[in-house]
Structure 1
Amino acid sequence: MTDIVGAVITVSDRASAGEYVDRSGPRAVELLAQHGVSADVTVVPDDPAEIRRGIRTAIKAGARVVLTTGGTGIGPRDVTPEVTAELFDRRLPGITDEIRRRGAQHVPTAVLSRAEAGIVKLKKWPPAFVVNAPGSTGAVADTIAVVGPLIAHLLDQLDGGGHSRFD
């Protein structure tokens, strides 16, 4: 399988300040690799400008898949979904509906996630698939279990491919 360029952005005030070790970002990198996506982790605080900059920088560096982890809950600093949605050309709500459904089978609070998924198109770069995951390793696993099998088809569609991959 050809490596797809990806990026993982951990959104956490505490991890960005060095107060705890990020485990969800490295887990995302490991799981994405099983689906042909090569990614590194960037850690940013729960700050709209930093989240926005992180996503845009990843896409400008060639990422076609960007997974954020953290900042999807209902806490006062949880702003990842709003910031991400501002960048979308198109939303893909069925993906996050399925991620929440899958997560709720293990952890009832998974339904509190406000995660978003969609397509970001920046002027000079190919469109990228961006998805938010909650900040736990279990939520990252649930997210990638849903999106991993879709990535190649999704990118093929974005690049003008046909609908025959799953026929």
Structure 2
Amino acid sequence: MESKSMREHKKHSPLKVKVGIITLSDSKSNQQKSNNSDDTAIPKEDVSGKIIMESVKGEHEIVSYTIIPDDAELLLRNLNNMRNTGAQVIISTGGTGIGKRDITIETITPLFTKELKGFGEIFRYESYKELGTGAMLSRTTAGVWGETLLVALPGSPNAVKLGMRIIKPELGHLVKHMKN
């Protein structure tokens, strides 16, 4: 529940922010051949990316959306491109676990000028209530990179829904504070 003073404080926050979305997934980024006779390549279904998109669509402006493999250089290049196209918030999904190919956290945290540890803490607490001790495997985080907010969510659709429930109400508020 939000306090009256927090509601007052948020009144001066931007209502609409510019959002970039990145799905990191080796399997989803690989092109699979369709059954069409022209052999057109189509990407596999990106459920988590679509959840983010549906969550922010209408309320905020989506300036970019992409699916990339778990590759640090490619992630950095896409983050820069999205920031250069005006993204104030970049939300990624995938690559936050402890597997060998999970590179999101190692790639983005050096960019942070300020880390929002509370986001990851709340996310893991809420996950713990649903999943139990397995929630400790999540390295979900968020942080400020210049005047851009980076949010790293797991690849699981349920985890993305939870993360968006936590972060979405604060997007305008966070953008406001990054500019001060």
Q: Which moves more between the two structures, 47-56 or 25-34?
A: 25-34
Does 1:100 pair with 2:124? yes
Residue in structure 1 matched with residue 49 of structure 2 by the alignment? 25
Match of 1:111 among 120, 136, 155: 136
**Shift of the alpha carbon at 1:107?**
2.5
Distance in 1 of aligned mates of 2:139 and 2:177: 26
Query: Which residue pairs with 1:6 in the alignment?
Result: 19
Q: Is the 8 A contact 2:18 2:87 kept in 1?
A: yes
Partner of 1:45: 69
Match of 1:76 in 2: 100
TM-score normalised to structure 1 length: 0.86
- Which amino acid in 2 is paired with 1:132? A
Partner of 2:154: 134
Partners of 1:119 and 1:130 within 8 A in 2: yes
SS of the aligned residue for 1:46 comes to: coil
- Output the CA distance in 2 between the equivalents of 1:18 and 1:24: 17
1:150 maps to 2:174: no
TM-score by length of 2: 0.80
Gaps of 5+ in 2: 1-13, 33-43
Moved more, 110-119 or 67-76: 110-119
Specify every segment of 5 or more residues in structure 1 that has no aligned partner in the other structure, as ranges: 122-126, 161-167
Q: 1:101-121, CA deviations, whole angstroms, 9 ceiling, x for partnerless residues?
A: 112222233321112210011
Decide whether the 8 Å contact of 2:112 with 2:144 is kept in 1.
yes
Per the alignment, in what secondary structure is the counterpart of residue 102 of structure 1? helix
SS in 1 for 2:144: strand
Q: Counterpart of 2:78 in structure 1: which amino acid?
A: G
State the 4+ residue runs in structure 1 displaced beyond 4 angstroms.
none
| RMSD of aligned residue pairs (Cα, Å) | 1.6
Question: Match of 2:24, as an amino acid?
Answer: V
The question of whether the paired residues in 1 share the 8 Å contact of 2:93 and 2:154 is answered with yes
- Kept after mapping to 2: 8 A contact 1:101/1:111: no
Number of matched pairs = 154
- State the one-letter code of the partner of 1:23: V
**Higher Cα Rg: structure 1 or 2?**
2
Offset at 1:50? Answer: 0.8
Paired residues for 1:50-69 under 5 Å = 50-69=74-93
Identity across matched positions, percent:
31
In 2, distance between residues paired with 1:41 and 1:23? Answer: 13
Q: 1:2 Cα deviation (Å)?
A: 4.2
